[in-house]
Amino acid sequence: MNIEGLLGQVLSGGNVGAISQAIGADESTTSTAIQAALPMLIGGLARNAQSDDGASALAGALDRDHDGSVLDDIAGFVMGGGAQQSNGAGILGHIFGGNQPAVEQGVSQASGLDLGTVAKLLPLLAPIVMGYLGRQKQEQGLDVASLAGMLGGAQQQMQEQQSPLMGMLSAVLDQNRDGSMVDDAIRLAGGFLSRR
């Protein structure tokens, strides 16, 4: 999975301008926040996909709702308003559960964007990430195991780059501090995208 490719698509053309306009922030700060938020979203999805149930639910949601067409006109999607963003809020709830405020705090600290604005940004980005995954799944013919493997590889790539955000995300999702994210991922994956 090419995280840089996803970042490049989101940050290209007038997309950052559209996103910054939608959330009411300047383009430079918005760009920084996007670069902080996308790895957190992918990391959260990777943790959920560590369980069979989570990976199956993700694959089903991609097949049903996320064919990648959102990538063809990201700016248009962002400016489209309410329905897409409420969909994004639902996706975030499944990815992060009750940990979402801590994730928002991390993106805010990394980018300088205030919490209220981060809370507007993440629901815009979540469907874009899902669309990207959906297109990858289609183009590469990924089954459930391959999808989980791709996300796990992306997560490992981010950890190898020693992103401080990944360390923060690990701390957030491994709430019982036993060093294992798997049990927390299973708990988070309980309702993962089951209603999407």
Q: What is the pLDDT of residues 42-73, one digit of tens each?
A: 989 999 999 999 999 999 999 999 999 999 99
Tell me, yes or no, whether 103 lies in a domain: yes
For residues 121-126, give the mean pLDDT.
95
Number of domains into which the chain is organized? 1
Q: Give the model's confidence band at 126: pLDDT under 50 very low, under 70 low, under 90 confident, else very high.
A: very high
User: How much is the pTM?
Assistant: 0.83
Tell me, yes or no, whether 157 lies in a domain: yes
Tell me, yes or no, whether 164 lies in a domain: yes
Tell me, yes or no, whether 196 lies in a domain: no
Tell me, yes or no, whether 51 lies in a domain: yes
Look at 2 and 91; give whichever has higher pLDDT.
Answer: 91
pLDDT of residue 39 exceeding 70, the answer is yes
Tell me, yes or no, whether 159 lies in a domain: yes
pLDDT of residue 187 exceeding 70, the answer is no
Q: What is the pLDDT of residue 195?
A: 31
Structure tokens at 48: 């959920």
Tell me, yes or no, whether 96 lies in a domain: yes
How far apart are the C-alpha atoms of 81 and 66, rounded to whole Å? 18
Is the separation of the CB atoms in 53 and 186 below 8 Å? yes
Domain of 163 in residue numbering reads as 3-191
Q: Give the model's confidence band at 120: pLDDT under 50 very low, under 70 low, under 90 confident, else very high.
A: very high
Q: What is the pLDDT of residue 190?
A: 33
Tell me, yes or no, whether 56 lies in a domain: yes
